[in-house]
Amino acid sequence: MTVPVITLDGPSASGKGSVASLVASRLGFHYLDSGSLYRLVALLALRRGVALDDAAALASLALTLPVRFTGGRIVAEGDDVSDALRAEEVGNGASKVGALPEVRAALLERQRAFAVEPGLVTDGRDMGSVVFPDAALKVFLTADAAVRADRRYKQLIGKGESANLAQITQDIIERDARDAARAVAPLRQEPDAMLLDTSAMTIDEAVDQVAQWYASRRSSGL
């Protein structure tokens, strides 16, 4: 690829979004949270009463997403939906619509269009396997399910929202299984992806590791 791309794939609540955005900031690269596009499809479907298994209607919605990324916020149809996209219902809906081939195909080129100079850091489920198979660096970022559930629980409580740790844990386990088993672009570690388990790491430590891997790739000419 002429534009350097770093992909961070991994399961829900593994911290890949936080790590990816900080890596992008450190390197001066653009950042794409690919999951936000799937969450946006799910959110608008829920708002418009579109069934989450109506592939044709969801694909049409994906093709015409009225979205802008500005100042770290996500704006759709004139509304800042950044916080709404983080709701558990929307996250689970995103996992369902993301399993539909029609939706994934509709969003493929829109995601690739984000790869512009000086570079891109992106996170998701299939960034390194499908969207950017020739990425300069691929990272598969994960953490123990119990650790991920605890992180999500604390995040929700910190926002003043009600949360049930047992339910969050169950949702994460079910989503992992659904994402790994889907027929199109399943969640998996690519053979050429670096494995980064953040279970016992801070965000800063994870960012440092990704940045070091990328610097090593650049210095070796890969």
In this structure, the dihedral spanned by the alpha carbons of residues 118, 121, 122 and 128, taken in order and rounded to 10 degrees, is 100
Enter the tokens of residue 218. 């650049």
Is 219 flagged in the annotation as binding?
Answer: no
Q: What is the DSSP letter of 218?
A: H
Q: Known binder of ligand: residue 57?
A: no
Q: Is 42 annotated as a binding residue?
A: no
CB of 35 within 8 A of CB of 141? no
Q: Are 194 and 13 in contact (CB under 8 A)?
A: no
SS percent in the chain: helix, strand, coil, step 5: 50, 15, 35
221 labelled binding-site residue: no
Is 14 one of the annotated binding-site residues? yes
Q: Is the peptide bond before 118 cis (omega within 30 degrees of 0)?
A: yes
Instruction: Check the annotation: does 186 bind a ligand.
Output: no
Q: Contacts by 62-67 with C-beta closer than 8 Å and gap 24+?
A: 62/37, 62/103, 62/106, 62/107, 63/106, 65/37, 65/40, 65/41, 65/110, 67/37, 67/40
Q: Is 76 annotated as a binding residue?
A: no
Q: Binding site for ATP, residues?
A: 10-18
Q: Binding site, residues?
A: 10-18
